[in-house]
Amino acid sequence: MLGEDHSLTNDFPDHLNTIAKLNQDDADFAEKAQQYDKLDKEIRVLELKDAPISDEQMHQLKHDRSELKDWLYQRMLKAE
């Protein structure tokens, strides 16, 4: 779905406490979470503007978001 919010708190509502704790206590997690949120917002804006970039560029952005999300999720699981 276009323009869908994939923020960490939206996609992982059962891990809100872990996300908050890691954002506070783990600088690496906090930095990557910030990168993820920025990338997610960029993708949503592009989708809502009919993606004024090439399909390859959009695919790369979504791939990068997915890689970050996987890394963040693994870190969340380790912290619990």
Token pair, residue 67, equals 């890689």
- Mean pLDDT across the stretch 46-74? 92
* Residues 47, 49, 55: CA angle, nearest 5 degrees: 50
3-state secondary structure of 32: helix
Integer Rg of the chain from CA: 13
User: What's the pLDDT at 31?
Assistant: 98
Q: What is the pTM of this model?
A: 0.89
Report domain extents, the chain: 8-79
pLDDT at 1 > cutoff 60: no
Q: Give the chain's mean pLDDT.
A: 93
DSSP string, 52-75: -S-HHHHHHHHHHHHHHHHHHHHH
CB 72 within 8 A of CB 23: no
